[in-house]
Amino acid sequence: MLCLDKHDPRPVYEQVVEGLERLMARGVLVEDDQLPSVRQLAMDLSVNPNTIQKAYSELLSRGEIYSIRGRGNFVSGEADVRGRMMQNIRSRMETLLREAKEIGATKQECEQMFCSLLGGLDYD
């Protein structure tokens, strides 16, 4: 379900947040799905429970999950995780296209590069 990269320079809790957000964006985790308990996820990922608690707190503050006392944490239907992630990707692409334009790359070169990269991905 979630995988951590020990070579990733980001803190583990950020990797957990991003991993859960990706699962939400892909529809693996949907509205009202219960997340694993802090203790269970910590054991599954071999990390300190405080790390998972910090990740859950971050997701709570973003409105991406909600908590029911005594029952656990659940995926919120209020947050558009996928939409926010797509907007972030669009913004990063725009930055890269501006950089390409600044070095004199043509629209055609950028389109060819994009199509080449897109063709190399498996979209089944």
Tokens of 121: 């991905």
Q: At 108, which helix (H) or strand (E)?
A: helix 107-119
Predicted local confidence at residue 99, as pLDDT: 96
When pLDDT is cut at 50, 70 and 90, the band that residue 124 belongs to is low
Answer yes or no: is pLDDT of 1 > 80.
Answer: no
* Residue whose C-alpha is closest to residue 67's, from 55, 76, 79: 76
- Strand spans (E) along 1-124: 65-68, 72-75
pLDDT in tens, 84-93: 999 999 999 9
CB atoms near residue 83 (< 10 Å): 10
Global confidence as pTM: 0.81
| Percent of the chain whose pLDDT exceeds 90 | 87
pLDDT in tens, 40-93: 999 999 999 999 999 999 999 999 999 999 999 999 987 789 999 999 999 999
Answer yes or no: is pLDDT of 35 > 80.
Answer: yes
When pLDDT is cut at 50, 70 and 90, the band that residue 39 belongs to is very high
Answer yes or no: is pLDDT of 34 > 80.
Answer: yes
